[in-house]
Amino acid sequence: SQEFEVVTSEASYCRSLDIVVEHFVKSSELDKLLTTQDKNWLFSRLTEVRAISRRFLTKLEERMELDVLHFTVCDIIAQHCPRFKKVYVPYLTNQSYQDATYQRLMNENPNFKRFVDNLERSTVCQRLPLRSFLVLPFQRITRIKLLVQVNKHHSPNQPGPMWKHRVSKHQISPDHHTATPVFDCMTFFFSGIVNFTPNVMGHPPS
């Protein structure tokens, strides 16, 4: 089901965030090579993104455990929208700075390139380069938006499966009336994030 996909894909996303934070962001070798500003531009708020995502996943898993066949997630996504906005908007705003910083360091700092290459060769990365991990938050927020849209437009007059029920005191009950306003709130937020232009802060560093 689409609900199950939200949970399993979020779990996979969190595992990838664990890799980039523990393996790259917290690398003592990289820390010695990077200025504070370069580290901020390169990794932005990845640790905060991971913290929010972990809490989100915990809520999803708790809901799924109540009724694995009929659980819903729309209200959990809606509840986390303010938290998503707090970390994803700054992260996406920083995207052009991140890209430019990465390219500059790879071109001008041989030690940085060497350490990154060594870290990427670790089996924990599963042959994925650092840049693949850095774009994960953008890909994830886009994916959640698409899942929300698919469920909203499941049929012309009725929301999709994710919107049909809510969980209250361990019971499943209909929730048709709240589906549309919750969806509207989420759509407004996700549209703002996904359509956000990263370079509004000016030219990236060179």
The radius of gyration of the chain from alpha carbons, rounded to an integer in Å, stands at 19
Whether 137 and 21 have beta carbons less than 8 Å apart is answered as no
Q: Where are the domains of the chain?
A: 2-197
Whether 163 and 179 have beta carbons less than 8 Å apart is answered as yes
**Continuous H helices in 73-135:** 74-93, 95-108, 110-120, 130-134
pLDDT of residue 48: 96
Q: Which residue has the tokens 């920083």?
A: 94
- Nearest to 77, CA basis, from 20, 146, 17: 146
CA distances from 121 to 73, 89, 98, 205 (A): 37, 31, 22, 28
Phi first, then psi, for residue 35 (nearest 5°) are: -70, 165
- Nearest to 102, CA basis, from 40, 53, 149: 40
Domain 2-197 CATH assignment equals 2.60.40.10 = no
- Nearest to 2, CA basis, from 175, 159, 181: 159
Per-residue pLDDT in tens (0 to 9) along the chain, 206 residues: 788 889 999 999 999 999 999 999 999 999 999 999 999 999 989 999 999 999 999 999 999 999 888 888 888 988 888 888 889 989 988 999 999 999 999 999 999 999 999 999 999 999 999 999 999 999 998 888 777 776 665 444 445 555 444 433 333 333 444 445 555 555 555 555 555 444 433 344 43
Structure tokens at 157: 């007059």
The two counts, helices (H) then strands (E), for the chain are 10, 2
pLDDT of residue 174: 36
pLDDT of residue 35: 95
pLDDT of residue 194: 53
